[in-house]
Amino acid sequence: MTAQLGGPVDPARFNAVELIKVKRDGGTLTPEQVDWLIGAYTSGVIAEEQMSALAMAIFFRGLSPAELNRWTAAMIASGERLDFSTLSRPTADKHSTGGVGDKITLPLVPLVAACGVAVPQLSGRGLGHTGGTLDKLEAIPGWRAALTNAEMLHQLEEVGAVICAAGSGLAPADKKLYALRDVTATVESIPLIASSIMSKKIAEGTGALVLDVKVGSGAFMKTAEQAAELARTMVALGRDAGVTTVALLTGMDTPLGLTAGNALEVRESVEVLAGGGPSDVVELTLTLAREMLAAAGRTDRDPADLLSSGAAMDVWRRMIAAQGGDPDAELPRARETDVIVAPTDGVLTSLDAMAVGVAAWRLGAGRARKEDPVQAGAGVELHAKPGHRVAAGQPLLTLHTDDPSRFAGARESLAAAYTIGESAPAQRSIVLDRIDH
């Protein structure tokens, strides 16, 4: 199922300082230099401060398309590459750049699997204001994120769906470089973002990939121009690597759905699988499902039919059980709640996604450092979305936490998060653009 790539590094082949100068001065690295840099950094030949300097040079100078392709290939070659060619059905995956209330992976994976396409979804944990898929699923009693490659392959064949943590052997160069970028103010570099995401997704071995690139206040990319540049860069990397890749730009000025948290979002995802749930979550789930099925060459089934029939729910239950979880178990609930009410009559005209994400984080749903624990029941529940008419004293938001001392910080982040006016804002499609080249 896996192939080990890469090889031993000759520490004397190149000089790290000279290669840093090349990028600092706007030059272009050769393929051999890129291979050596990634291999030498992964194996400890290049010091952290040297890679920090190179990352900053790339932040300001960028990477050419050829450099970026080679950089991504070298990241992949630093570890293993999964192979799903033995499966009896095609594979497709989805990656989201992260947002507030973005629980789409949870209903999407079993839905696409119910349509006949296997979904090997390798996900992560949250950091900062964006929630992590694994944190959400770990709210389910007994569910485990860590699977061996053999377990993953078996579950994909038997169930068609898996959501799990990436193994340590998958693009280890990215794991090391991402941690460095996080503490050196170089996270925002589009070439480094694109290579980080795509090295893991290509190494994962999926045959098709749909990218959900978020745009707006609660997203990493604040403008459509930034998001489109990132999307085009990632689509090119995927297609050059032989992976059918398409990207959607989707709005993230307002949280997705009516919850931001862990158990709260699982509960809402199950509602979607049961045929209900918020309309924006349902719409985006179906849109991404259709894109994944088309990319995998399976357009003979309408995912809306599989959602309404209960087939997707059946796959969800089997997927959760296969990873040790109890799909019938009661989900955790926070011990304390606090309600924020509308101060006046009118129409809710805006609700800032970033502010809601920060509030959920302050309530305990997220973490500031990778080592921090999260509260399964913490988060924010929305009782209205922009366009809804509200009355003075009506609940707008309910805050959930086990620690009531956290309410003050959450309320502070939400103090200017919403506006109430006289008329509803113009309706905006959740999908802003589609990029496939």
- All domains in the chain, ordered by first residue: 2-80 (1.20.970.10), 84-169+179-329 (3.40.1030.10), 336-421 (3.90.1170.30)
Count the Cβ atoms, other than its own, within 10 Å of residue 43. Answer: 15
Token pair recorded at residue 41: 């950094």
Question: pTM, whole model, 2 decimals?
Answer: 0.94
Catalytic residue among 35, 102, 135, 174: 174
Catalytic: 174?
A: yes
pLDDT of 1 reads 55
Percent of the chain with pLDDT over 70: 98
Would residue 85 show up in a list of annotated catalytic residues for this protein?
Answer: no
Q: Is the pLDDT of residue 4 over 70?
A: no
The confidence score (pLDDT) of residue 387 equals 95
Model confidence at 130, in pLDDT bands (50, 70, 90)? confident
Q: Is 93 considered catalytic here? A: no
Q: Name the catalytic one among 96, 123, 196, 217.
A: 196
Cα gap 61→26, rounded to integer Å: 6
The one catalytic residue in 176, 200, 362, 406 is 200
The H or E element containing residue 390 is strand 389-390
Task: Read off the pLDDT of residues 215-256 as tens digits, 9 standing for 90 and up.
Answer: 999 998 999 999 999 999 999 999 999 999 999 999 999 999
Q: Please report where in the chains the tokens 């103090």 appear, as a residue.
A: 415
Please state the separation of Cα 200 from the chain's center in Å.
12
Question: Is 200 assigned a catalytic role?
Answer: yes
Residue 108 pLDDT > 80, yes or no? yes
Point out the least confidently predicted range of 130-139, 262-271, 374-383, 386-395. Answer: 130-139
Q: Which residues contact 251 (CB under 8 A, 6 or more apart)?
A: 214, 215, 216, 428, 429, 430, 432
Question: What is the reported pLDDT for 351?
Answer: 97
pLDDT in tens, 148-185: 999 999 999 999 999 999 887 889 999 899 889 888 98
pLDDT of residue 46: 94
> 74 by DSSP, 3-state: which?
helix
Residue 405 neighbours by CB under 8 Å, 6+ apart: none
6-10, 63-67, 325-329, 383-387: lowest mean pLDDT where?
6-10
Q: Residue 405: what pLDDT?
A: 98
pLDDT reported for residue 437: 83
Cα 273 to Cα 101, 144, 188, 266, 298, distances in angstroms: 16, 21, 35, 11, 21
- The catalytic position among 181, 201, 400, 406 is 181
Q: What is the mean pLDDT of the chain?
A: 94
Output the CA torsion sign for 239, 432, 62, 50: negative
Instruction: Specify the pLDDT at position 278.
Output: 97
* Active site annotation includes 406: no
> Can you list the alpha helix ranges (DSSP code H) found in 138-278?
149-158, 172-182, 190-204, 224-240, 263-273
Using 50, 70 and 90 to split pLDDT, how confident is the model at 8? confident
Q: Cα 280 to the chain's mean position, in Å?
A: 17
